[in-house]
Structure 1
C-alpha cells in the first residue's frame, strides 16, 4: 500500500489538533497505515500538535505501519529538536 500524503495545518495547535486527530483516526479505520505528513505549509506547532503526532506514531507502530514527516521548516524543526522528537520520527528533507 502506498503512503498517503497528508498536509499538516499552517498553525498546528490546539485549535486544529482535534480535527486532525479525528481525520487520521478515520483513515486508520479505513485501513490506512502508511502516512507521509507534509509540513511545507506548517509554520507553528505547539505541545498539543506534538501530542497528536506522538499518538498517531504509536498507533502506526502498533498496526505495523509507517509515519514519515517531510519539509519541516527550521522554526518547527527547532521544536522537534528541543523535545527530542527528532529522534523518534522519521524526518525526511
Structure 2
C-alpha cells in the first residue's frame, strides 16, 4: 500500500504534479494507495479529477484506493457535495 500525502492546497498546480506522480507509480505496478488528507485545507475540481482518474485505474487493476484523515470540514463537504464520499473508501 503506497501512502501519499495530499498537499494543503490540492488545486491546479499541485494536482497535475500528483497526476503525473500517481500515474508513474501505477505504470510501475503499484495499485494500492492510501491518500492522507490530514494537511489538506482546499481541493478544487482539478484535484477531484485526479482522484477519480487514479481511483478508476486502481479499480481496473483490482487495487485499493483509500482516502483517509479528512480533517478539514470544507474538504469533507466537497466530497459529500460531489457524492464522492459514496464512491471512495473514506477512512477516519
Shorter-chain TM-score bucket reads over 0.9
Structure 1 position 68, deviation (Å)? 0.0
Stretches of 4+ moved more than 2 A in 1? none
Unaligned 5+ segments in structure 1 are none
Aligned match of 1:89? 88
Backbone CA RMSD of aligned residues: 0.6
1:17-55 deviations in Å (ceiling 9; x for gaps): 111000001101111001000001100000000011000
CA distance in structure 2 between the partners assigned to 1:84 and 1:28 by the alignment: 25
The two structures have a TM-score, normalised by structure 1, of: 0.95
CA distance in structure 1 between the partners assigned to 2:85 and 2:25 by the alignment: 24
The two structures have a TM-score, normalised by structure 2, of: 0.96
Unaligned 5+ segments in structure 2 are none
